[in-house]
Chain A
Amino acid sequence: MSLAAYPRIADWITAQDGLLLVRTGKVDIGQRISTALIQIAHEELGVPFNRIDIATVRTDKAPDEGMTSGSNSIEQSGKAVQCAAATLRATLRKRLASKYGGAPEEWALADGAIFLPGTNHRFPVIELIENLGKDDLVDPAALPVARPYQSPPRPRMRGIAEMVRGGHAFIHDLDVPGMWHARVVRPPHVHARLNGVPETARARLAAKGLHLIEDGSFLAVVGPNEWPVVDQAQKLAIACDWDVGKGLPETDVFTLLNASKSARFHAPKAAPTKGPIPEPLVLPDHTARYERTYQLHGSLGPSAAMAQWSDGVLTLKSHSQGIYPLRESIADSLGLALEKVIIEHMPGSGCYGHTGADDAAFEAALVAMAHPDRPILLKWSREDEHMWEPFAPAMAVELAAKTSGRSITAFSAEVFSDTHRGRPRPGPKRAGPGKLLANRFRETPIGPTPAAPNMGVHAGMHRNLDPVYAIENKRLVKNLVPDLPHRTSAMRCLGAAVNIFAIESFMDTIARKSGADPIAFRLSHLDDDRARNVLLTLQDQLSHWPDLTEATGRGVAFAQYKNAMTRVAVAIELTVNDMAEIQLHRAAIVADAGRIVDAEGLTAQLEGGLVQAASWALHEEVKWDRDGIQTRDWDSYPVIRFDNIPKVSVTLQDQPDEKSLGAGEASPGPTLGAIGNAVFDAVGLRLTRLPFTAASIRQAAYH
C-alpha cells in the first residue's frame, strides 16, 4: 500500500551530503521503527549505521503512510524501504558490471563501498546513489539480501545514547526564542459548560502578566513563563463558574454492554458483513462472559504540542500517530486550506495508541491563532491526561462452545464495545473536527461525531475475535453499542486484548473440564506448524521450571495477532497472597515474527507488551461518578511498578526466508490470558472481569 502510492526510490531513500536518508511516514513512538528501518538499509546497501539517518516526518515532505498503528510499520514502511534499497543494490550492481565487468552478483557491498573482489574497482555507495535518476522506480519484487550469518541482527537502538544523558529531545523540551507556554483550563467534566470567568480571576491573571484565550467554554492561559501558567490555569479552573448539568452518567457500564441498542454484524473470519446474524448455538456445553472496564493509555509524559501562526500558515509540531489525518481535521476545524497547515512529528512519551496528542495539537493551534507570530508550547497536566485522553473502551465478550470428547465442534463469540476509532479522521459531517476535544467546547461547537462501525478485517473491537484454532463451525458477531458514558479510541491491540483474554481463558476452562493438558488441548486445535512450534518450544521450557509452591500457579496462552502477524505463546507463574494480591514471579515468551530485522527491538516490544498487559490485568481501572472522572493521578489509578515485575525470558523463532511480521501488539493478549489462567491454577478462581484487583479476587472467593 505504501509502495503503490509512493513508487519512486527517491520517495524512500535519498543520498545527500554523504548521508543516506531513509524517508518514512511512520513515526517512532518508542517502538524502534527508526532503528529497524536503518538496519534494513544497512543490510541491503552495506552502508555503516552512522551514515544513515531518518528524515523528519513532516506532512509537506514525507510519504503519507496514514497512521502509525496496528503493528503495521514493519510490514508497510519496512517493506517499502527494503524493496527500495534492494532495487538500488540491483541497479548499482548492474551498471557497474556492464561498465567494468564481472557478473552483477559478484559486486559486493560493504563498509559503504561497492566493489568487485580481486580488482581495484571500488566506489562509494552513497555518492553513486546521489547521481542516480530521481524518478527511478522501486521494484516491488526485489528480494531482501540473503543473510550470511545465523543469528538475527541486533543493531544499537537509535537515540539510546542521548536518552541516558538526558539529551534526547522530546516535544516537551522545545525552547525557542519568544516562545510562550499555554495550559488549558478544564471544566469539571465533559458535559459542563462555562457560565463565566470571575472578574477577580481575570485581574489576577493580568497582574501576573498572563493572557486568557476564550472561545465559548474553551479556555486557556498563556504567558511567557511555564510555572505561572501551570499554577494559574489550575487555580482558574476552580475559580470559574461552570454549569455542570446532569453530570456524568453513573449507570454500570457492563449492564449497558448488551445487544438491545447495538449495531450488530455477523463477522465471519473477523470480517464484518451486512448479512443476517446466525442463530446462537443450541444447548452449548460451555458458556462464559468476559469483561474489561475503561482503561488509560497513561503515557508517562502528558501530551504536548507546539504551534505558530504566521503569514496565514499554521505550523505545528506534534507527537500524534497520524499527522496527515490530523492536519485535515485541524484545517477543516479552522476553515484553512490544507496546504496552510503543516505538521511535523516530534517524539513524545510512549503512547500505545490514541492519547491526548491530537487534541493538544489542536488546542495549541487555537492559542497560536490568537497570538500571531508567537510560538506556543502547550502541555497537558497529569490530571488532563488522566481525565481527558480518549479511554480504551469498556468491553464484554460472550463465548459459547459445543464439545465432543476433547475437541471443540462449534464456537460462538459476541463482542460488545464502544468504538476504538476516536482518532480525528476526516469523514462525512465533519467527522474529523467532531473528534477533536476542544471543538466540543468552542463558541460554535462541533461534535461529538457518532461512532460508525469499523467494517475492516480484524479491525476495532473484532480484532482477534476469530480464534486462530481449527474449529469447523464458528459464529462471530460484533455489537457496536451506542450512548456509553465516555469518549473512547484506539489503545494498543484494540479489541484483540480482551478477545484473546476471553478466548484463552475459555480454552483453559474447557481443557480443564475435559481433563486435557492446556497446551496439548491447544495443539490439538492447531494446524499451523509455526504456531505449533511456538507452543511446543514453550512447553519444553516449562518442563525445566521448578515445582510450584503453595498458592502459586502457572498459566499459558497463545495467539497470533490478527491471525496473520506474530505468533506468541506466553507462560506466567504467580502467587495470590493472603491479601488477595497477585505477585508475578516469572514469565516466558516464545514468538515467531518471521524474518527478524532487529532482535533487540523485537524482544523489547514483546517484553514491554507483557509488562503493560500485566499492569492492565492487575490494576488499571478508570473510575468516575456524577462529578467527573475520579481517577486523576497515579495514586487513584495505580499501575504496575518495579516491585511486581516478573523475570521475563524471550525466545525468538527466526524465519530468515519468511516475511517480517509486526509484533508491537502481539504479546499483551496472550499475557492477559496467561495471568487469568495462572490465577485459576493458583487458587481455583476463574476471574472474568479485568482488572483482577485484590477486591475483585476477594469478591470472587466469596461467591
Chain B
Amino acid sequence: MGARHLVTLTLNVNGEMRRVTSDPDTPLVYVLRDEFKLKGTKLGCGLEQCGACAVLVEGAPVLSCVSPVSAFEGKSITTIEGIDANDTGSRVQAAFVTYSAAQCGYCTAGLVVAATALLDDNPSPNRVDIAQALTPHLCRCGSHPRVFRAVKAAAKS
C-alpha cells in the first residue's frame, strides 16, 4: 500500500512542463498547492460547489478540487499565478484592483480566472452573461456588485 501507488506525471502548468510523483487519484488542486507551491488557487469545498479552486484547462474554466491529477496529463493548465500571461487576464486583474472587487479575497482568484475565460470567449458580455459565467462561484463577503463592475470595465478597456 501507500508508496506503491505513486506514479510520476508531467503537467503543463503556466507554460512550464513540471513533473510530480503523486498518487494519481489526488485531486489536481492539492498537487498545484502542495507540490508546485502555487497557493493562489484556493480550496473552499472540495465538492465542485463554490468555485474557489477554478483554473483554466486549455483556456476553459475547470474546478480543480475533485478531478484526479492524472486526468490533466498533457493538457495545458493556467492558474491565477499565470493568468497575466494572457492579455485578458491582466486586464481583468487591473479592473478588480480599480474597483476593489474583493473583501477578504478568498473567492477572488477563482473569479479572476472565470472572468478571464468569459472575456476570452465573449469580449462584450452583458450582465446576464456575466452572472451566468460566475454563478458557479460563491462569495460570502458580498463583493458581487463590485465584481460585476470590474468585469464590465475589463470588457470595455
Contacts and interface: CB of A to CB of B under 8 A. Distances in A.
B23 to A, nearest CB: 7
Contacts of B97: 156, 160-161, 164
Nearest to A30: B104
B151 to A, nearest CB: 10
A646 to B, nearest CB: 8
Interface in A568-602: 600-601
A171 to B, nearest CB: 11
Given A209-B2, A226-B34, A642-B144, A633 B47 contact: yes
Given A30-B104, A164-B108, A635 B140 contact: no
Interface in A372-400: 381-382
Contact of A166 (B27, B34, B41, B137): B41
A113 interface: no
B93 interface: yes
B126 interface: no
A56 interface: no
In this complex, the member of B47, B135, B142, B147 whose beta carbon has the largest number of chain A beta carbons within 10 angstroms is B142
A641 B104 contact: no
Given A164-B97, A604-B146, A612-B140, A207 B38 contact: no
Contacts of A608: 103, 141-143
B132 A208 contact: no
A169 B144 contact: no
Contact of A604 (B38, B100, B108): B100
A570 B103 CA distance: 21
Contacts of A643: 131-132, 135
A610 B142 contact: yes
A609 B79 contact: no
A302 B142 CA distance: 17
Interface residues of A, number: 61
B104 A166 contact: no
B117 interface: no
B37 A175 contact: yes
Contacts of B56: none
Contacts of B37: 175
Nearest to A160: B97
Interface string A620-644: 0000000000000111000101110
A140 interface: no
Given A160-B100, A164-B97, A604-B103, A350 B47 contact: no
A165 interface: yes
A702 interface: no
A300 B137 CA distance: 10
A321 to B, nearest CB: 13
A11 B25 CA distance: 52
B2 A607 contact: no
B138 A634 contact: yes
B34 A29 contact: no
Contacts of A204: 1
In this complex, the member of A31, A166, A228 whose beta carbon has the largest number of chain B beta carbons within 10 angstroms is A166
B109 interface: yes
A381 B39 contact: no
A634 B148 CA distance: 22
Contacts of A302: 44
A226 B93 CA distance: 30
A349 interface: yes
Nearest to B45: A382
Interface in A147-164: 156-157, 159-161, 163-164
Interface string A168-193: 11101101000000000000000000
A165 B80 contact: yes
In this complex, the member of A382, A600, A633 whose beta carbon has the largest number of chain B beta carbons within 10 angstroms is A382
Contacts of B145: 607, 611, 645, 647-648
A163 B102 contact: yes
A154 to B, nearest CB: 9
B153 interface: no
Contacts of A524: none
B45 A634 contact: yes
Contacts of A227: 23, 26-27, 30, 34
Given A160-B100, A300-B52, A611 B142 contact: yes
A166 B102 contact: no
B4 to A, nearest CB: 10
Given A349-B106, A382-B45, A634-B47, A164 B96 contact: yes
B52 A301 contact: yes
Interface in A324-362: 347-350, 352
Interface in B31-60: 33-34, 37-47, 49-50, 52
Contact of B40 (A156, A166, A381): A166
Q: Ordered nearest first, which 4 A-B pairs have the shortest CB separation? A: A166-B40, A611-B142, A30-B104, A608-B142
Interface of B: 1-2, 23, 26-27, 30, 33-34, 37-47, 49-50, 52, 79-81, 84, 92-93, 96-97, 100, 102-109, 112, 130-132, 134-135, 137-148
22 contacts: A30-B105, A32-B103, A156-B100, A163-B102, A164-B109, A165-B40, A166-B40, A170-B106, A208-B1, A299-B140, A300-B52, A300-B141, A350-B106, A600-B100, A607-B142, A607-B143, A608-B142, A611-B144, A633-B47, A634-B138, A639-B138, A643-B132
